[in-house]
Each structure stands twice: as structure tokens, then as C-alpha cells.
Chains A and B, each alone.
Chain A
């Protein structure tokens, strides 16, 4: 069943939910998974993303997301100026990818404290996205859940450690997928959870042996930001009905 707020929403800067709003979310996901302030970005656009980049503001939308803006931020049309203010250097080029969704972008990022990330993601419509590739490893998650992205050495025990910690913290795992580029090399665990994963648990997990990197996409915080602040308590009666 669809979320009715996918029908009445997203609240976004136009003109296109796939080429603008979705692009902002891709930039924003990239920033989150970089886990650092981006100072340099190489952006590559594929397919119809490349074609309508300017007319639909895809280029500005991606940069806006990298700067931490949400899809409804009024500064999005002025993203290039904002990037200059924030000290983000970037280039935008076209790329041809094999078998990729027509609205796909690849972002290579360098962070202030030296962290790097290469991410490939698609805008699948209605503001929804799909992350296809992270640091050379194929993945498949859409940011509809709180998501743990754990980069670990591909040997035994790590999965059990992670699921044990989540179980103790009473965090329900909605889905989990494992990806690697070759046996015994690096591996990625993508874990989507119903509840948010507390910081203490993330701290613990990131310190476990064999865990190389842990990043976290907090879906509940993104949603709460939307209306938590705007909860007009005075508009409701005590029985919950609108005045």
C-alpha cells in the first residue's frame, strides 16, 4: 500500500520529482554516507538525467543535496552560489553507464577530514531513490528505512556480531543484504531497521574487530524534521480533532 503522503507529496522544489526532488535526495544520501563535510565533488550524469539536467535543475538539485539541503529548500535554485559560500568545489559531466536506470548519477566525493566516497544512485520517480553502488560494490537500497551501511572485512563472525548487538538494543531488522566485490575482500552489510539505531550501538559496532567503516542514514530524523517543528498544537482540540 502506498503512503498517502507519497500521493500528497513530496513537498519539494520543482519542476520534477524525479529530476529535481529525487536528485536532491541522492546528493543528500551521498553526503550522509560520506559522513563528512564535502569539499570536492565530481558529479557524473547518465541518461535522461544528463539531458534535462539544466532544464529540470538536476545539476543544482544534486549540489543542494550535497550541501545538506532538503528537497523543499528554497535555496535550491541558487545551489551553485551556496556551494561557493560553503567552499564546495565541483564538476558536472556526462557519463554513459551500462544497464543503469535512465535517471542515474555517480558522485565521487572528498570530505574535509579526508574521507572519500563513490556512490551511484538512481532517481526512480516520485522523489524516491535507489542506491546502486557504493565504493565499487553493488548494493540495492532505497532510503525508505533507517539504514546501517557497514563496511567490513569479508571473514566470519561479523554478521553475527552486528545482529546480536541490534537484537540486544531491541532494534528490529526489516531487511539485511550482504554484498562484496570478491571473496575474502571487502564486504558491505546493508541493514534496514524499523527503529532508529541508537548512537551508542553504532559506536560499539564501529569499534568491533573487522568493521572498517560504519555510516548511518537516519530516516526517522528526516521525517521528524519535516513536521515535528511545525506541529501546530493550538490547531487541535483535546480529542484530537482539528479546531
Chain B
């Protein structure tokens, strides 16, 4: 009987009882839930990883979204990173570039992997791809990291939310960040406790982040928020690997995030009625988008 992915603690308990690693316990849940073999589960995870790589590979920086609001920033950052002058240093500047590129690809109707949502698709691949590109991790490490990430996301989806409409951006980018933080700790050999602390710290540091998409599109500020999700995961993972611990246990942090989301005014939950969406420029952009739509409908 596999665990139910309803709490991180349940996974930790099972790790202690069985001596198995976090990723393996998540793999077992997939075998049970979808009634597949171990190989079938691994194959699907591999396919998913390929899709992330393909998405990163096909980015050129030339496409623009339908609204014209986003496109090309991933390329700018990549070029900046290559010049070796970025304050963030090599790894993090590559993480920023990948996060921007993936999120732009999403906005430009390219093929991506929702992780856990399309709007946050840039976060998890951004932290893993640069490590993979440098040969610092094996495909096996990667797949294990992806199982860890998916298990974390499943727990958050159960206890809190992974949708901006229900929980704000802290539920989408925040969850993606927590998934990425856990994945990074796993990749660096951190134990269950360290994974838990990384997840807790990642969520805590994005607590309260609102969902205020300009013109209701997954473009502004969504593309750039993938950057904070990715970079926040790196800092949370580094802290956890340094032995730094979250004072509040991870399941309680997840629950708190859920509570904050439920109490968030509807203006900040993907309705494009508040925050950046309601700025003077935000309103102008919304009107422009509506005008284009009406013109097309009439024409």
C-alpha cells in the first residue's frame, strides 16, 4: 500500500519505516494509482523530461505572444549571462535565462510541461537544465528529482492549492518553487528532512504573492515571476543543504499558504481586477486586448 501524498510527514514516516528514499515512495504511489509497472512510470517521467528539454531547445527568442507583450527577454538574459558579468554568477544567471525562456515559450503558444501549471512552467526546468547541461547530474538523478518534485506538488495541491484563481500566485509560482527547491536538495543528496525544510522555506518566502495578470493573460508579470520562483528555489535549497531549518514544520507552512490564499481578496486571485492588472498601464493594455478581440469578432 503506497502513501496517499496527503502530507509531507506521511512521506517522511514511510521513508523511516521502509528505508526508501523520497523519490522511490512517490514512484510507488504512481504505480499504485495508475496501475502501471515501474518501467511504465519511469518511461512517462523520462518522456516528461524530454518534453522539458525540447521546450528549452526550441526557444529562439524571436517569437512574441499574441498580445505582443512578451518575448525576447530569455535571449537577452542568456546573452548577458554569456558575457560573464552577471551579479548572480554563472549558475543563477543561467537559471534566470531558462526561467524567462520557458515562460515566454508558454505565452507564445509553444509546447511546454505544466509544472504544476502552465503559468509556472519555467520554474522547475530552470533550476535543473543548467545542471544537466554542465553534466553535473545524471539522467537517473534527474528522474529521481522529478519524482520528488511531483510528490511535493501533489501534497500542496491536496492541502492547499495550485491554482492562482483559488490561492493567488503563491499557489502557482510558490508551489513550483517549493517543488524545485525539493528537487535541488534531492539532486545534491539531501535527506528527507532537508527536502522538507527547503520546501517550507521556499513557500514561506513567497507567502502572500498575488495573482494580478495584466489583461488577464499569462504574460505580465507571469513570465518574470517564473524567475523569482526559480531563484527562490535555489536559495531555499542552499539554506537547507547548509543545515538551516524552517522553524515551522512544512505541512503547517503548506496549510498556512492555503489559508492565506483563501483569505486573499478576489481582486488578487486571477481576476485581473487588482494589483498590476489595475494599474493605469495595466488598464490600457487590457483595453487594447479587448479592442483587438472585438475588431476580430466583427471582421
Contacts and interface: CB of A to CB of B under 8 A. Distances in A.
A226 interface: yes
A7 interface: yes
A24 to B, nearest CB: 11
A167 interface: no
Nearest to A48: B216
Interface string A80-102: 00000000000001100000000
Residues of B contacting A: mostly: helix
B62 interface: no
Contacts of B107: 14-15
A72 interface: yes
Given A1-B4, A14-B112, A14-B118, A7 B218 contact: no
A65 interface: no
B113 A9 contact: yes
Interface in B277-299: 289, 292-293, 296-297
Contact of A72 (B111, B293, B296): B111
Interface residues of B, number: 66
Given A1-B29, A240-B42, A242-B139, A21 B109 contact: no
Contacts of A227: 40, 43-44, 47
Contacts of B111: 11-14, 72-74
Contacts of A5: 30, 34, 44, 48, 150
Nearest to A236: B39
Contact of A3 (B33, B112, B292): B33
B218 A16 contact: yes
A196 interface: no
Contacts of A232: 43, 46
B110 interface: yes
B158 A2 contact: yes
A12 B105 CA distance: 11
Interface string A226-238: 1100111001100
B47 A8 contact: no
A10 B114 contact: yes
A90 to B, nearest CB: 14
A106 interface: no
Interface in B102-143: 105-119, 121, 124, 139-140, 143
Interface centre among B66, B124, B140 (most CB of A within 10 A): B66
B195 interface: no
Contacts of A143: none
Given A2-B157, A235-B46, A17 B118 contact: yes
A40 to B, nearest CB: 19
A9 B47 CA distance: 11
Interface stretch (A51-59, A112-120, A131-139, A177-185): A51-59
A2 B110 contact: no
A241 interface: yes
B5 A14 contact: no
Range of interface residues on A (Cβ < 8 Å):
35 or more
B219 interface: yes
A4 interface: yes
Interface string B1-16: 0001110000000000
A11 B50 CA distance: 10
Given A4-B30, A16-B218, A17-B117, A242 B106 contact: no
A236 B253 CA distance: 38
A48 B269 CA distance: 14
Contact of B154 (A2, A17, A77, A125): A2
Contacts of B46: 230, 232, 235, 242
Given A4-B147, A8-B45, A15 B65 contact: yes
Nearest to B6: A1
A8 B289 CA distance: 31
Nearest to A78: B109
Interface of B: 4-6, 26, 29-30, 33-34, 38-40, 42-48, 50-51, 65-67, 105-119, 121, 124, 139-140, 143, 146-147, 149-151, 153-154, 157-158, 162-163, 165, 179, 215-219, 289, 292-293, 296-297
Given A5-B44, A8-B146, A8-B153, 6 more contacts: A8-B114, A11-B114, A17-B117, A54-B293, A230-B50, A236-B39
21 contacts: A4-B29, A4-B154, A5-B44, A7-B149, A7-B162, A8-B45, A8-B113, A8-B116, A8-B146, A12-B111, A12-B113, A16-B218, A54-B293, A56-B218, A57-B109, A72-B111, A126-B117, A227-B40, A230-B43, A231-B43, A240-B38
